[in-house]
A and B are shown apart, each in its own frame.
Chain A
Amino acid sequence: MKDVKAYIESGVLELYVLGDLSPEERLDVEKMALEHPAVKTELAEIEQSLEMFAQEHAIEPSEGLRGKIVNSTLVNLGDDRIFTKQRKHSDEEEYEDDKVITMPKRTQFYKYAFAACLTLLLISIYGMVSLYSQLQESNTQLATLQADKTKFANQVNFKDNQLRIYRDSNYRIVRLKGLPKTPAASMMLAWNPSSQKVMVDMESMTLPKHDDKHEYQLWALVKGKPVDMGLFDNAAADSAIVKEMKNVALAQGFAVTLEPKGGSVNPTLDQMVVIGQF
């Protein structure tokens, strides 16, 4: 009991009430107060007298301050509730805010990137399709040109051959003339006695038209006898400009008769249209 009295008189309780003790000393005083009612009573006395002392020295703050402080405390109450009860929540919200700020940028970016890619893809597809069709067109043109070229080359070759016939001194040009029955008819052929070749110039040929059942037949006069040289047609079907006929080595002349389709073994002499002799 004496200990308690000494403890009370040490002045530590006053310092406790004034908040002037270390945490350990505070705990010690609180323990003593729990154990000894006298200490507790003494503390209450000190507190009461200091509170009254403060009341004696109270100073009223300015009038306007009440509303301001009450409001700011209550506003803080709002803040306080957010921060204490929903602290984690508000932290998450901040993160969510961050996400909300950054995410749209990303999605926006990807959205635009995707749109750009799609646009590029479409443009490429269109370009490829049009290039492909152009290529096809070019190929077609090229094929046409090549065909033309082949045709022209053939023609040139052919013309060359024709020209060669005329230039070749071995060829002998024979002009077949119309008979009294067919005075307008005429025809020209070339014969090479050494190669035995006979060519008929279809272009300069002017023979009367014949029906479908007949054809012209060329004959060569070999030793006074007619020899078959082949059939030909002056219709458009025979497009060759120069027609090569059968070969003959020795001929004194040539004649053309109109024979039934397929030709005849012996010429029908009254159907002779042109004749030419050396």
Chain B
Amino acid sequence: MSPKRKISLSEEDLIQALRNREKIAVEALYDMYSASLYGVIVRIVTEEAFAEDVLQETFVKIWNSFASYSADKGRLFTWMVNIARNLSIDKVRSKDFRNQGKNQELENNVTFIDEQRNTVYNPELLGIKEMVATLKPEQRAILDLVYFKGYTHVEAAEELDVPLGTIKTRLRMAIQQLRKHFNE
């Protein structure tokens, strides 16, 4: 047994294999992207059991709706991470998920999600890593909300109490900062 031998394909080959609905495509997809996707999912969902469910749902959905992916419109990961994020948000807002928590009666989902997270949120594990410390606090905050909490920019604007335009600018600056960081 060689459990650590992971399958890796070029994005092009992977897309081709997915189109052909080859079994190896599922394995490669998992080996190449499960950790990145799970990183996003577990930060939104926070409960490991639920996060694993969402990861599974994500792969099933990627597989089943792969016909709707078009390489012209962007990278495979961008498409997949948006599926993962949407499923995570759906899960967090689902009755199922809320019933396992104590505050089922809260009507404001965003507030509720936030409170949920605050109880389990571990910045050291789940927050943005130190190496992105080059980000300014407000840039970290917006990335944290939008990328790892599943907020829309409108919700983030409300949460941070800043105008929408500012949110957009901050988000852009944060991502510019990341680009700089990764290109170094």
The interface of chain A, by Cβ under 8 A from chain B, is 9-12, 14-15, 17-20, 30, 43-63, 65-66, 68-70, 72-74, 76-77, 80-81, 84
A61 to chain B, nearest CB (A): 5
Flag the segment in B92-100, B104-112, B113-121, B167-175 that touches A: B167-175
Give chain A residues whose Cβ lies under 8 Å from the Cβ of B77: 47, 51, 54
Main secondary structure of the interface of A (DSSP, over half): helix
Which B residues form the contact surface with A (CB < 8 A)? 3, 21, 23, 26-27, 30-31, 34-40, 42-43, 48, 51-52, 55-56, 59-60, 63-64, 73-75, 77-78, 81-82, 85-86, 128-129, 131-132, 143, 146-148, 152-153, 168-169, 171-172, 175, 178-179, 182
Decide: A11 and B172 in contact? CB cutoff 8 A.
yes
Given that A61-B52, A69-B59 are known contacts, is A56 also in contact with B129, CB under 8 Å in the complex?
yes
Set of chain B residues within 8 Å of A53, measured between Cβ atoms: 132, 143, 147, 178, 182
Within 8 Å CB of B59, what residues of A? 69-70, 72-73
Asked if A57 and B60 make an inter-chain contact with CB atoms under 8 angstroms apart, the answer reads no
Q: Is the CB of B36 within 8 A of A51?
A: yes
Within the assembled complex, what's the spacing in Å between the Cα atoms of A43 and B179? 12
What is the chain B residue whose CB lies nearest that of A58? Answer: B35
B83 to chain A, nearest CB (A): 9
Contact assessment for A58 and B30 in the assembled complex, using a CB-CB cutoff below 8 Å: no
- Contact in complex: B153, A56 (CB < 8 Å): no
- Known A-B contacts A11-B172, A48-B75, A68-B56; A19 and B82 likewise in contact (beta carbons under 8 Å): yes
Residues of chain B lying within 8 A (CB to CB) of residue A59? 35, 38-39, 42
Tell me, rounded to whole Å, the shortest Cβ–Cβ distance linking A272 to chain B.
Answer: 139
| Cα–Cα distance between A49 and B182 once the two chains are bound (Å) | 7
Nearest-neighbour CB distance to chain B for A81, whole angstroms, equals 8
In the complex, which of the residues B26, B40, B48, B52 contacts A73, with contact meaning CB atoms closer than 8 Å? B26
B36 and A54 contact, CB distance less than 8 A: yes
Q: Compute how far the CA of A10 lies from the CA of B170 in the bound complex, rounded to whole angstroms.
A: 10
* Given A11-B172, A47-B75, A69-B34: 20 more A-B contacts, CB < 8 Å: A9-B172, A11-B171, A14-B172, A15-B171, A19-B82, A20-B146, A46-B175, A46-B179, A48-B179, A51-B75, A56-B131, A56-B132, A61-B55, A63-B3, A68-B56, A69-B55, A73-B59, A76-B64, A77-B63, A80-B64
